[in-house]
Structure 1
Amino acid sequence: MEIKVITNSKEETKELGFQLGQLAKPQMVYTLTGDLGAGKTTLTQGIAKGLDIARTVSSPTFTICKIYHGRLDLYHFDAYRLEGLHQDLGFEEMIQGDGLTVIEWPMYIQEIIGDEYLEIEIKLLDEDQREFTLKSNGTTYEQLLGELKI
């Protein structure tokens, strides 16, 4: 299943993320692709709010992974700097753990993501407007998309 959502502000992007956070269950994986500045971190901030996380979410660009605690733990990866790196970094344990994993630049660690995940592609339409393409990979994520209120 695939759906498209257009947001017209950061607030609307965070609201979409909030819904995705509320619908999240343990061991879910959301992948985020889009150009720099497309809204990956803004969407993740909304997801964190939907998980009842009080801390401010920022991009994990230089740390590769940040962990936030809420209703579910949020493992926020930025895999951009992992391109071509083929060693065991222990990320599989987090992805298969009891939290929600959000991965920016997933193409660099695709081999550890598995076959079931929610793929989110973000396109910058103009300064405020974004187009989100949400694609389910697996029945769990198909059900999740069916529960979105958009």
Structure 2
Amino acid sequence: MSSDHERPDSRHRRPSGVTRATVEALGALSKALETTERARGALYSFHQLTGSADLVLDDAVRLLREAGHGREADRVEREVLGRNVIPDHWTFQIIEAYNATYYRPFQQLEEEIRSELADGRDHLYEAEMKEERRTKHHPDHTAC
């Protein structure tokens, strides 16, 4: 095995002068951002599921009419089809607001702090954890 696999590359090594406490703090900040990424993904799921349900309502309206239930079809069209999910907003507008108001500022701040404190190196906490937990010289336990 080459020695390249025995030492993490420079992208995953703590820069000189960066303390363990700083690495832990950056790890927590990164974990919070990753959780925000998951929340954002849930918003996209919400958006797609709600949109799909709204499109299926077209079939429900058509089928209600075909079954002779025009009044009920009219109610579905009037009261639910194309309705705002919260006042003044469809789901895409919620995502746009979330991205502009919370996600992008958080993402930018995390990147700026990581650049200031760790030369922009990402996942130092995890890289150090991998180094601590791996079995040296094992082919499936290579360094970062």
Q: TM-score, normalised by structure 2?
A: 0.24
Higher helix proportion? 2
Higher relative contact order (CA 8 A, sep 6+): 2
Higher strand proportion? 1
Q: TM-score, normalised by structure 1?
A: 0.23
